[in-house]
Amino acid sequence: MIAVIDYGAGNIQSVVKALKFIGCDCIVTNKKEELLKADGAIMPGVGSFGDSMDSMIKTGAKDAVLEFIERERPFLGICLGLQLLFPESEESPNAKGLGLLDGTITKIPANTGLKIPHMGWNSLKILKHDGIFKGIEGEPYVYFVHSYFLTAQDQSIVSAQTEYGVKIDASVRKDNIFATQFHPEKSGKVGLQILQNFIDITKR
């Protein structure tokens, strides 16, 4: 069973639809007792960093997520769900993130001549061909929607990157934590394979 975490700011239905398409049982919840029974958890996210952290605190999702990860269960953050794993974001200077990983979240520079937000398909340079990228070859295209991007402090946790005027750390992994800046649930066959790989990890 996969728990899709609902803290009032997630892109819930498209993730649930993708999981059901590949035959995965899932539950949408923000309750700690339900989350802790799950084999793995996915935290989607759209919206602003600060508002989402406020929502996580108000719904109790913050404490639930921290305990889930502390118990070394497989966890996947998607888009804003990646950014919230870090201490802070330039988007919401007064907000404190979960602080589970180290890095900076900054706005894509306006002087690149590219449209912001970064919206649409872009290629990935996969650095670690295991974990959620097992069996995925070449430089696959995946779907992005974001204006802020990660630069990880410890580059050893970066599992994939992309370019959009700047180098973007598009996916990270540390222990039981996986996260993607792009949306696997909107990334066609490649995205479904990434979700299936995550599900397979939860069964080990």
Whether 78 contacts 180, CB under 8 Å:
yes
pLDDT score for 104: 98
The single residue of 24, 88, 118, 185 carrying the catalytic annotation is: 185
2-202 adopts what CATH topology?
Rossmann fold (3.40.50)
- Spell 173-194 as b/e; 16+ CB within 10 A means b: bbebbbbbbbbbbbbeebbbbb
146 included as an active-site residue: no
- Can 88 be counted among the known catalytic residues? no
* 183 catalytic residue (yes or no): yes
Q: Supply the pLDDT for residue 116.
A: 95
DSSP code per residue over the chain: -EEEE-SSSS-HHHHHHHHHHTT--EEEE--HHHHTTSSEEEE---S-HHHHHHHHHHHTHHHHHHHHHHTT--EEEETHHHHTTSS--TTSTT-----SS-EEEEEPPGGGSS-SSEEEEEE-EES--SGGGTT--S--EEEEEESEEEEESSGGGEEEEEESSSEEEEEEEETTEEEESSBGGGSHHHHHHHHHHHHHHHT-
The pLDDT value recorded for residue 42 is 97
Count other C-beta atoms under 10 Å from residue 5's C-beta. Answer: 27
pTM: 0.97
Q: What is the pLDDT of residues 31-79, one digit of tens each?
A: 999 999 999 999 998 889 999 999 999 999 999 999 999 999 999 999 9
Exactly one of 24, 79, 88, 91 is catalytic; name it. Answer: 79
Which residue do the tokens 């992005």 mark? 144
- Give CA–CA dist 55/158, Å, rounded: 27
pLDDT in tens, 139-165: 999 999 999 999 999 999 999 999 999
Both tokens assigned to 30: 């923000």
- Residue 9 reports pLDDT greater than 80: no
